[in-house]
Amino acid sequence: MTIHVVDPGPPGAGLVWRPSQSRRLLMNTVASQVTVFTDASVTIEGPLEEGPSLYQWAASLAARDPRALVAGRDAPGEAVLAQARALGPDSYPTRVLYGQYLSWVFHHVTGKAAGHVTVRVHRARAVRLADGDRGLGGAGPQTVVLEDGTELSGLSAVVLAQGHTPTTADAAERELPAFASRNGLVHIAPSSPADVDLSRIAPGQTVLVRGLGLNFFDCMALFTQGRGGFFERVEGRLVYRPSGREPALYAGSRRGVPYQARGENEKGRPRALPSQAADGRVRRRSLSRPVRHRSVAADRPGSAVRLLRDADRPPPRPGRRGRVRRRVAPRSATRTVPPSSRRRASCRGLTGLSVRPERMRGNTEATGGQLVSERVPAVLAPALGKAAAKQVLSDASAAATADGRPLADVLAEVPQVRGRFTRAELAALLDPAAYTGVAAELVDRAPA
Ligand SMILES: Cc1cc2nc3c(=O)[nH]c(=O)nc-3n(C[C@H](O)[C@H](O)[C@H](O)COP(=O)(O)OP(=O)(O)OC[C@H]3O[C@@H](n4cnc5c(N)ncnc54)[C@H](O)[C@@H]3O)c2cc1C
């Protein structure tokens, strides 16, 4: 049996995780939660193949365990070993390190292949897949054509696992390059920043980044640390020291709400969300600590300066049943009060800025809850499975849009949701005010 592996990227790692990319680019999954092996927790038809997670493999590599190396190949360089040594189970690994792990897995798995199996690697893009014999109605062996003209024929099965494929530009996106060239600007089409030549962006040049997701964080890393800037710990806090070669970054997002940050490993510990009891009923999680983050829009009408001035107030005491009364400034603000001189300077800088709660609420509620529906699949997944939970949300969102109804109303009627969540619980889940993640902490840190 011959297995052809076709990928322009290195086998195992592929393009996304190629070890040749910048080590400034990080994964958004912590090391102990990343593995390509199976264990008893996985239900599959084939045999379970146990093996180390990324974290376990990196620990073996750091300990110079020969089993973590690819036989007959040079050991990874000192930069990779240093990353492996520094990696903790809750660290966010570099994509380079994950690429090294995937390369090791590839050689580990193919090295264990049965004697009758030959694996052939083609570092090329496949450009055509021809179906089998037309006379047999498409049945029979298939052919894959590579961009260099190589034909892999007589294939009894073809598995397509292309990951994220490029998108076709829509009308608005097609107009942007022309607009940019008419106005002497540079336009970079939607793509992974790792795959784009960013060196043509000069220091100090203004860069507008569309969206606040993964690509924004990649851009930010490449334009800051990637250009020689670095972080220094000063009095327990990280301070960025610029290199002077950074452009000026402006970022915007259609939702206007940043994604919830993943500063710590919080998987499986959603805060302030309804949790599901063993009997399938949903009940409120009893919080061992007060809810720390509340919406700036909901809690702080008036001037944003108040937020800083009120930072000296003592935190509110939890009332009966552990509930916290509304507070003007978040608890975290009272713990990380910047020195008064800096705070005064920050207040001066913010004078004139004001929060318009009604406007913000109007914007966030314009989609009837769809804007903040990211948590819905997360709370449904334990009962329905990830894919079904996503499908429920997708169908409900489509129905809500079509009928112009609030998402919570539609969800409350979905059979898989009814009985698990009340209408009130769904409304709470879709409340933008409970959706600000660590935004309050970021606000606190900004003046530092
Ligand atoms: C920049 C980026 C960062 C990510 N970070 C994370 C993360 O931190 N954690 C996480 O869980 N997920 C992350 N993801 C999601 C990621 O897609 C998955 O984790 C995982 O890589 C998906 O594996 P895959 O094998 O399906 O696809 P991929 O890993 O994308 O592999 C697909 C491969 O197919 C190849 N290919 C595509 N078309 C062709 C063709 N025509 N011919 C030949 N080869 C082709 C590509 O070169 C690529 O190597 C990230 C994705 C991206 C793009």
pLDDT of residue 332: 36
The CA 211 to ligand 1 mean position distance, Å, reads: 20
Residue of 28, 26, 91 lying closest to 58 (CA atoms):
91
Q: Is residue 274 within 8 Å of 378, Cβ to Cβ? A: no
The SS3 of residue 252 is strand
- Ligand 1 near 274 CB (within 6 A): no
- Here the tokens at position 316 are 């509110």
- How many of the other CB atoms lie within 10 Å of CB of 347? 18
Over the chain (448 residues), the average pLDDT of each successive run of 10 is: 97 96 94 92 90 96 93 88 94 96 96 95 96 75 95 94 90 90 90 92 93 91 96 92 95 76 57 38 36 34 38 45 40 41 58 74 82 87 90 92 90 90 89 74 61
Q: What is the largest CA-CA distance in the chain?
A: 83
| Domain assignments of the chain as residue spans, ordered by start | 2-123, 171-252
DSSP string, 137-162: TT-S-EEEEETTS-EEEEES------
The CA 164 to ligand 1 mean position distance, Å, reads: 6
List beta partners, residue 143: 130
List beta partners, residue 122: 6
Residue nearest to atom 37 of ligand 1 (CA): 162
Which of ligand 1's atoms lies nearest the C-alpha of 194? 1
- Here the tokens at position 356 are 């318009």
The SS3 of residue 2 is strand
- Ligand 1 near 16 CB (within 6 A): yes
> d(Cα 245, Cα 229) in Å, to the nearest integer?
8
pTM above 0.95, yes or no: no
Q: State the residue for tokens 């640390």.
A: 225
pLDDT of residue 68: 94
Ligand 1 mutation pick, 97, 125, 162, 220, max ligand atoms within 8 A of CB: 162
- Ligand 1 near 8 CB (within 6 A): yes
pLDDT of residue 274: 36
